[in-house]
């Protein structure tokens, strides 16, 4: 029988997993989060799970209730809209800056990453879609040369359930058009268009997630 493992930054991986499950509605508001169950599911010891829950408590993702332990904190539609609007505003500003200064080599790298992403989308390879979407946006953020603003975006996007989007057919259809429009804005140095497309990319994502959560009935 495999033994639970611990490694550096393991608690961050556990926290990321729980964030995704909470934001995608797999763990509903009010649901008790049992340390032993999470540890068994992820193949880790109790310690990184406990550390992860302390982190999530500080982010208002979970609450510690007397005699009950950790439970998922309330999550409203407005919370989802606020999170994605914040992400869209920051990402849009970064995209606008990139459009003004992007080099030919940076544009070529983005185009290649997007081509690989589109192949993964066509083949419905969820894990590859998730990784390549991250790589595409990371390249944009690095090209903006705005370390602090990019850091704020990194913090905000931790609440995006990336696996949910990678597996959703509607998102996979929209990402093709959004990325094509972004690359066009970058190639024509159109900062206003880049800001608008990137912001919409995130706010449309909010509506998709809200519909999913509506269908699950988590607001009830």
Whole-number pLDDT of residue 2: 44
Q: Which domains does the chain have, with CATH numbers?
A: 10-72 (1.10.10.10), 77-216 (1.20.120.530)
Tokens of 89: 């505003």
Whole-number pLDDT of residue 7: 52
For 63, phi then psi, to 5°, come to -125, 150
**What's the pTM?**
0.88
Determine the Cα–Cα distance for residues 28 and 17; give it in Å rounded to an integer: 14
Whole-number pLDDT of residue 9: 82
* Spatial CA neighbour of 73 closest among 36, 39, 33: 33
Whole-number pLDDT of residue 1: 39
b/e per residue, 83-112, with b = 16+ CB within 10 A? bbbbbbbbbbbbbbbbbeebeeebbeebee
For 127, phi then psi, to 5°, come to -65, -45
Do the Cβ atoms of 166 and 209 come closer than 8 Å?
no
Q: CA triplet 89, 132, 18: central angle to 5 degrees?
A: 70
> Which parts of the chain are beta strand (E)?
62-65, 69-72
pLDDT less than 50: residues of the chain? 1-3, 5-6, 8
Whole-number pLDDT of residue 5: 47
Whole-number pLDDT of residue 64: 95
Distance of CA 139 to the CA centre of its chain: 15
128 burial (CB, 10 Å; 0-12 / 13-18 / 19+) is middle
Q: 34-93 pLDDT, tens per residue? A: 999 999 999 999 999 999 999 999 999 999 998 889 999 999 999 999 999 999 999 999
Tokens of 194: 């880049």
Whole-number pLDDT of residue 219: 82
Strand partners, 39: none
């Amino acid at each position: 029988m495999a033994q639970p493992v611990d490694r550096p930054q393991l608690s961050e991986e556990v926290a990321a997993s729980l964030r995704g499950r909470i934001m995608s509605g797999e763990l509903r508001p009010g649901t008790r989060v049992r340390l032993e169950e999470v540890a068994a599911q992820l193949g880790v010891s109790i310690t990184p799970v406990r550390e992860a829950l302390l982190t999530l408590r500080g982010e208002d993702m979970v609450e510690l209730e007397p005699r009950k332990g950790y439970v998922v904190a309330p999550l409203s539609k407005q919370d989802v809209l606020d999170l994605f609007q914040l992400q869209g505003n920051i990402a849009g500003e970064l995209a606008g800056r990139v459009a003004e200064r992007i080099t030919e080599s940076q544009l070529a790298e983005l185009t290649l990453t997007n081509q690989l992403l589109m192949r993964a989308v066509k083949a419905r390879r969820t894990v590859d879609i998730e990784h390549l979407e991250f790589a595409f946006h990371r390249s944009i953020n690095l090209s903006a040369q705005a370390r602090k603003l990019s850091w704020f975006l990194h913090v905000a996007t931790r609440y995006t359930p990336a696996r949910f989007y990678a597996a959703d057919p509607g998102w996979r259809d929209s990402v093709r058009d959004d990325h094509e429009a972004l690359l066009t804005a970058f190639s024509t140095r159109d900062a206003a268009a880049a800001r608008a497309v990137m912001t919409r990319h995130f706010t449309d994502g909010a509506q998709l997630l809200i519909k999913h959560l509506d269908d699950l009935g988590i607001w009830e």
